[in-house]
């Protein structure tokens, strides 16, 4: 991830409802949730939710797919892991860092040691 994409992602998460929305989608895994269920769980009006979903989608942090008449939203784990790696790539002044990588298929986070270069 480059600096520009990191700024867009962090900007999208820098709002209370969007942060709660993203965290909710991370917890439910790749299956995601329909927009109506998200609105109900977060106590957000559907019109407001649409705006927040669009912001997270634009930042590449969530994906959307159609299932019959419903739109299902899921966290984009690759983008989340890339953002975490970008934020920690020079941790303690080292090029090699151990970043917890979220793998929803494994239903846990693993330590992924990666070799990164400064952006």
User: Per-residue confidence of the chain (119 residues) as pLDDT tens digits?
Assistant: 999 999 999 999 999 999 999 999 999 999 999 999 999 999 999 999 999 999 999 999 999 999 999 999 999 999 999 999 998 887 776 665 555 667 776 655 555 444 444 44
pLDDT, position 104: 76
User: Is it true that domain 3-77 has CATH number 1.10.10.10?
Assistant: yes
The pLDDT of residue 90 is 76
Tell me where in the chain the CATH 1.10.10.10 domain(s) lie: 3-77
What pLDDT was estimated at residue 82? Answer: 94
Model pLDDT, residue 65: 96
C-alpha distances (whole Å) from 67 to each of 33, 52, 55, 73 are 11, 20, 21, 10
């Amino acid at each position: 991830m480059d600096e520009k994409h990191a700024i867009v992602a962090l900007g999208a998460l820098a709002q209370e409802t969007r942060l709660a929305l993203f965290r909710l989608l991370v917890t439910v895994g790749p299956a995601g949730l329909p927009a109506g269920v998200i609105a109900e769980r977060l106590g957000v009006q559907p019109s407001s939710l649409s705006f927040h979903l669009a912001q997270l989608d634009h930042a590449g942090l969530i994906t959307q797919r159609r299932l019959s008449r419903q739109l299902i939203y899921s966290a984009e784990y690759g983008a989340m892991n890339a953002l975490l790696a970008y934020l920690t790539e020079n941790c303690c002044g080292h090029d090699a860092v151990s970043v917890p990588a979220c793998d929803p298929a494994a239903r846990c986070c693993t330590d992924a040691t990666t070799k990164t270069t400064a952006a």
